């Protein structure tokens, strides 16, 4: 009762979890007429994560990199249904998922079950904290729009609070100290954006306290951006130092309090030194951890018992040990890095696979009908035999789906002061480049990857607006 979506009983129900890079690439390329498509995600929009670090300083406004999932579904030929809810359980035996809607307007949580014939898990990952005390309570993550908004507010809160008269030097220095933990691409890009914000806007608008502004990037390994080539790592570290970003490598954060980070530095002589670093803003960017729903599935499927970082899948992205369940993106372990590039190629692969499966079924049923007709000796059996032959040929071609293979297009990262680094495939070889030209390449590459023309126009306008008038530093 009250249900708006009535599944067509002649079609299989395909449930897709998530509206991130993987699930949206699947939706974009899927022929939705073949299935009863149901999308479930607590986030009713797709988020273009590569430009999220730019939202933390207001260089780009957050809505410019969001695309409503309903706008995506509206353009599909076959109707697809969307539920704004979080999947909390997958019962692979009964083939049902449990979803929870905890919308504020309801005032109470609503739990319901959705049956599936086929399920795609594309729920991404959550932020890793490694159980380090104080991280969840005191730091900001950088994964969702809400995180970027929180950071944007907090930067200005630190600046305005530090500018208030009658405080100790120590307190002003603490407030103006922005600490970033994790020297992966997220941490490096954010540190670069933050330093730009300071150089281009804060310094001019709040000159009194500007000498105290400092960004520190803390990384446990011997260098930042470990997945890039040695040449680009050196270039990045030199550029960050030129920008006056303090890089602390071989430094492992062990504990976080409301205004200090406690870390252990590994010295060249093999000894360790414990340091206490006061901070005003702390951004935690130490990578991915498995979401509870995925952990739960891994614990319940015996074939997943050796998997640690997500759902182990085969070369067709089928979850090992589960029937009719596929996994894509950051929640799947297929042997690739957890990136948007991988997730979107996996989503597009599944769309091709599902489109083929639907075609196969329709061809098989046509062949079955023609064979029955021939057995009953009705109609022209020579024509039917010829058609069956053609259909079988077509079927063999369609059934021959090659396994998923990731094609790496290269890695790009913004490192501040209008410079970027790129490790890209170039004429069958590799090109490692950094600098201002790479920055223009970075901008045009990300612009072309934006989800829609609307996003593209909004991002360009934001860039122009910030260039002409500076970033908007009002704190709301």
- The single residue among 7, 42, 338, 470 that binds ligand NAD, judged by CB under 6 A, is 338
Q: How far is CA 67 from CA 21, 104, 119, 452, 463, in A?
A: 12, 22, 23, 8, 18
Coil vs helix vs strand at 463: helix
Q: Which is nearer to ligand NAD, 69 or 218 (CB)?
A: 218
Distance CA 474, CA 233 (A): 35
Q: How many residues does the chain have?
A: 476
Does residue 340 bind ligand FAD (CB under 6 A)?
Answer: yes
Q: DSSP per residue over 66-116, as a string?
A: EEEHHHHHHT-SS-EEEEE-EEEEEETTTTEEEEEE--TTTSS-EEEEEE-
- The single residue among 146, 211, 226, 292 that binds ligand NAD, judged by CB under 6 A, is 226
Q: Measure the CA angle with vertex 367, ends 363 and 371; round to 5°.
A: 170
Q: Which is nearer to ligand NAD, 29 or 288 (CB)?
A: 288
> Rule CB under 6 A: which of 88-117 touch ligand NAD?
none
How far separated are the first and last CA of the chain, in Å rounded? 42
Among 398, 427, 414, 421, CA closest to 463: 414
Distance CA 472, CA 465 (A): 10
Give the nearest distance from C-beta 329 to ligand FAD in angstroms.
Answer: 2
- The single residue among 119, 172, 218, 459 that binds ligand NAD, judged by CB under 6 A, is 218
Distance CA 301, CA 325 (A): 12
Check residue 62 and give left, alpha or beta (phi > 0: left; psi -120 to 50: alpha).
Answer: alpha
On whether the CB atoms of residues 242 and 416 are closer than 8 A, the answer is: no
Does residue 188 bind ligand FAD (CB under 6 A)?
Answer: no
Distance CA 318, CA 313 (A): 5
- The single residue among 65, 311, 317, 413 that binds ligand NAD, judged by CB under 6 A, is 413
- The single residue among 26, 53, 64, 181 that binds ligand FAD, judged by CB under 6 A, is 53
- The single residue among 20, 185, 192, 434 that binds ligand NAD, judged by CB under 6 A, is 185
Of ligand FAD, ligand NAD, none, which one sits near residue 195, judging by CB under 5 to 8 A according to partner kind?
none
- Mention every residue, 6+ apart, whose C-beta is less than 8 A from residue 355: 29, 30, 31, 34
Does residue 275 bind ligand NAD (CB under 6 A)?
Answer: no
- The single residue among 236, 339, 455, 466 that binds ligand NAD, judged by CB under 6 A, is 339
Pattern of binders to ligand FAD over 13-32, x per CB under 6 A? ----xxxxxxx---------
Q: Which is nearer to ligand FAD, 264 or 296 (CB)?
A: 296
| DSSP bridge pairs for 15 | 38, 119
Of ligand NAD, ligand FAD, none, which one sits near residue 221, judging by CB under 5 to 8 A according to partner kind?
ligand NAD
Of ligand FAD, ligand NAD, none, which one sits near residue 184, judging by CB under 5 to 8 A according to partner kind?
ligand NAD
Task: Specify the stretch interacting with ligand NAD by CB under 6 A; choose among 60-68, 206-214, 281-289, 314-322.
Answer: 281-289
Of ligand NAD, ligand FAD, none, which one sits near residue 28, judging by CB under 5 to 8 A according to partner kind?
none
On whether the CB atoms of residues 64 and 161 are closer than 8 A, the answer is: no
Distance CA 136, CA 147 (A): 12
Distance CA 39, CA 83 (A): 6
Give the nearest distance from C-beta 165 to ligand NAD in angstroms.
Answer: 36
Residue 392 CB coordination number (10 Å)? 13
Distance CA 137, CA 139 (A): 6
Give the nearest distance from C-beta 414 to ligand FAD in angstroms.
Answer: 9
Give the nearest distance from C-beta 219 to ligand NAD in angstroms.
Answer: 5
CA atoms within 13 A on the CB side of 206: 21
Give the nearest distance from C-beta 243 to ligand NAD in angstroms.
Answer: 17
Give the nearest distance from C-beta 48 to ligand FAD in angstroms.
Answer: 9
Task: Specify the stretch interacting with ligand FAD by CB under 6 A; choose among 75-83, 163-171, 324-332, 461-469.
Answer: 324-332
On whether the CB atoms of residues 332 and 309 are closer than 8 A, the answer is: no
Q: Which is nearer to ligand FAD, 141 or 213 (CB)?
A: 141
When CB distances to ligand NAD are compared, the closest residue is 184
Pattern of binders to ligand NAD over 310-329, x per CB under 6 A? --------------------
Beta-sheet pairing, 214-218 with 177-181: parallel
- The single residue among 252, 391, 445, 447 that binds ligand NAD, judged by CB under 6 A, is 252
Does residue 7 bind ligand FAD (CB under 6 A)?
Answer: no
What's phi and psi for 62, nearest 5 deg? -60, -35
Give the nearest distance from C-beta 100 to ligand FAD in angstroms.
Answer: 9
Task: Specify the stretch interacting with ligand NAD by CB under 6 A; choose among 220-228, 274-282, 294-302, 345-353.
Answer: 220-228
Residues that bind ligand FAD (CB under 6 A): 17-23, 40-43, 49-50, 52-53, 86-87, 122-124, 142-143, 186, 291, 293, 329-331, 338-341, 343
Residues that bind ligand NAD (CB under 6 A): 50, 130, 132, 181-187, 189, 218-221, 226-227, 252-253, 285-288, 337-339, 411-413
């Amino acid at each position: 009762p009250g249900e708006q979506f009535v599944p067509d009983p002649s079609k299989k129900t395909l449930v897709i979890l998530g509206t991130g890079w993987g699930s949206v690439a699947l939706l974009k390329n899927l022929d939705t007429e073949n299935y009863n498509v149901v999308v479930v995600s607590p986030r009713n929009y797709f988020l273009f994560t590569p430009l999220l670090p730019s939202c933390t300083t207001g260089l780009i406004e957050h809505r410019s990199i969001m695309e409503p999932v309903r706008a995506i579904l509206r353009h599909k030929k076959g109707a697809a249904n969307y539920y704004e809810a979080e999947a909390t359980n997958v019962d692979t035996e009964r083939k049902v998922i449990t979803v929870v809607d905890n919308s504020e307007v309801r005032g109470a949580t609503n739990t319901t079950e959705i049956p599936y014939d086929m399920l795609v898990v594309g729920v991404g990952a959550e932020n890793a904290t490694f159980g380090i005390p104080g991280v969840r309570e005191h730091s900001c993550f950088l994964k969702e729009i809400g995180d970027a908004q929180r950071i944007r507010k907090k930067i200005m809160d630190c600046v305005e609070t530090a500018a208030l008269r009658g405080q100790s030097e120590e307190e002003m220095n603490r407030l103006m100290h922005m600490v970033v933990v994790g020297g992966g691409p997220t941490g490096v890009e954010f540190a670069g954006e933050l330093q730009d914000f300071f150089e281009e806007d804060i310094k001019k608008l709040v000159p009194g306290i500007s000498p105290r502004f400092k960004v520190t990037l803390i990384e446990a390994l011997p260098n930042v951006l470990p997945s890039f080539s040695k040449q680009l790592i050196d270039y990045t570290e030199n550029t960050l130092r030129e920008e006056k970003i303090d890089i602390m490598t071989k430094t492992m954060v062990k504990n976080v309090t409301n205004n200090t980070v406690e870390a252990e530095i590994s010295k060249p002589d093999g000894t360790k030194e414990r340091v206490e670093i006061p901070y005003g803003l702390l951004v935690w960017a130490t990578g991915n951890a498995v979401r509870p729903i995925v952990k739960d599935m891994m614990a319940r499927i015996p074939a997943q018992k050796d998997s640690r970082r997500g759902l182990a899948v085969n070369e067709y992205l089928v979850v090992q040990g589960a029937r009719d369940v596929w996994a894509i993106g950051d929640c799947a372990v297929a042997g690739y890095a957890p990136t948007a590039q991988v997730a979107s190629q996996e989503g597009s692969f599944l769309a091709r696979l599902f489109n083929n499966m639907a075609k196969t079924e329709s061809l098989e049923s046509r062949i079955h009908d023609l064979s029955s007709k021939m057995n009953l000796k009705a109609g022209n059996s020579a024509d039917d035999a010829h058609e069956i032959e053609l259909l079988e040929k077509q079927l063999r071609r369609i059934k021959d789906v090659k396994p998923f293979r990731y094609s790496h297009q290269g890695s790009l990262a913004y490192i501040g002061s209008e410079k970027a680094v790129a490790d890209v495939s170039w004429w069958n070889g590799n090109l490692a480049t950094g600098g201002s030209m790479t920055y223009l390449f970075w901008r045009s590459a990300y612009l072309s990857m934006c989800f829609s023309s609307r996003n593209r126009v909004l991002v360009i306008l934001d860039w122009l607006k910030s260039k002409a008038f500076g970033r908007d530093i009002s704190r709301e």
